[in-house]
């Protein structure tokens, strides 16, 4: 199979990344619905819907905003402006969704933590989306730097690059397994599973960004890395509590 993978159906070239992106949303939501039916959700349906809407709106705004900030020095021509408006990143979506949920909960007066049910559907959705990123090769700005390591792959430009999407797929599998273990074996309070997911995923992305050809840096860090630092600061109290309070059953 050649990367970028661009299948044709009836003479029409399909955007495999876009297809898998929509599929990721659909499958992740269905997975969430199944998990909610099997769980004793302490949040009523009306409030849960408000939380989901808050998450969706926050994710939409956050993904676009951080996507634009990844390359703020671009020439604002008509073509580039359209491309910028279509730029999005899962990192901005996750953190924007988090802020959207917190705002929605404050508006409706919901005090309970709401994130744990979303953890595994989010991981599954990211996994499917990253498959699309890998198959798109250099057509999506998720590829890595040129490398001479044994992991180097030709992603469509004739150069051996770090397949960072594949690295992330491996990490997501390990994260899924690890969080399932913690869910069953650790004395986690409600909401802590989501916080651990956010800390782990943002920590991984902070590291993997060093393998990507980012073009805009502040204090030597990319926009995504700065967002990762902000996320860790946001959860700084949680980090301290988890380090001091974990007990396995």
Instruction: Report the pLDDT averaged over residues 226-243.
Output: 88
116 in any annotated domain: yes
Into how many domains does the chain fold?
1
- Per-residue pLDDT band for 248 (boundaries 50, 70, 90) equals very low
63 in any annotated domain: no
Q: What is the pLDDT of residue 231?
A: 93
Q: Does residue 128 carry a pLDDT above 90?
A: yes
23 in any annotated domain: yes
- Are 144 and 162 in contact by the 8 Å Cβ rule? The answer is yes
Instruction: Report the pLDDT averaged over residues 159-183.
Output: 94
Mean pLDDT of the residues in the chain: 84
101 in any annotated domain: no
- Per-residue pLDDT band for 249 (boundaries 50, 70, 90) equals very low
100 in any annotated domain: no
Structural domain of 160: 8-42+112-245
Q: Does residue 77 carry a pLDDT above 60?
A: no
134 in any annotated domain: yes
Q: What is the pLDDT of residue 45?
A: 76
Which tens digit of pLDDT belongs to each residue from 178-219?
Answer: 999 988 887 778 888 999 999 999 999 999 999 998 777 778
1 in any annotated domain: no
68 in any annotated domain: no
Instruction: Report the pLDDT averaged over residues 42-57.
Output: 83
């Amino acid at each position: 199979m050649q990367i970028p993978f661009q299948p044709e159906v009836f003479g029409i070239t399909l955007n495999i990344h876009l297809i898998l992106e929509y599929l990721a949303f659909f499958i992740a939501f269905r997975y969430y619905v199944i998990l909610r039916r099997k769980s004793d959700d302490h949040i009523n349906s009306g409030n849960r819907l408000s939380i989901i809407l808050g998450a969706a709106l926050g994710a939409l705004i956050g993904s676009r905003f951080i996507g634009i900030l990844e390359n703020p020095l671009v020439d604002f021509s008509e073509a580039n402006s359209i491309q910028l408006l279509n730029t999005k990143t899962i990192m901005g979506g996750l953190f924007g969704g988090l802020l959207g949920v917190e705002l929605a909960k404050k508006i409706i007066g919901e005090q309970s933590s709401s994130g744990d049910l979303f953890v595994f559907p989010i991981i599954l959705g990211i996994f499917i989306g990253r498959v699309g990123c890998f198959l798109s090769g250099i057509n999506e700005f998720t590829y890595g730097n040129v490398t001479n390591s044994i992991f180097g792959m030709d992603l469509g430009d004739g150069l051996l690059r770090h397949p960072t999407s594949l690295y992330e797929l491996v990490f997501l599998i390990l994260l899924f397994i690890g969080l399932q273990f913690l869910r069953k074996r650790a004395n986690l309070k409600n909401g802590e599973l989501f916080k651990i997911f956010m800390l782990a995923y943002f920590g991984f992305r902070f590291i993997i960004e060093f393998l990507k050809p980012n073009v805009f840096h502040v204090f030597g860090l990319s926009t995504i890395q700065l967002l990762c630092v902000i996320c860790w600061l946001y959860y700084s109290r949680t980090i301290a509590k988890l380090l001091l309070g974990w007990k396995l059953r």
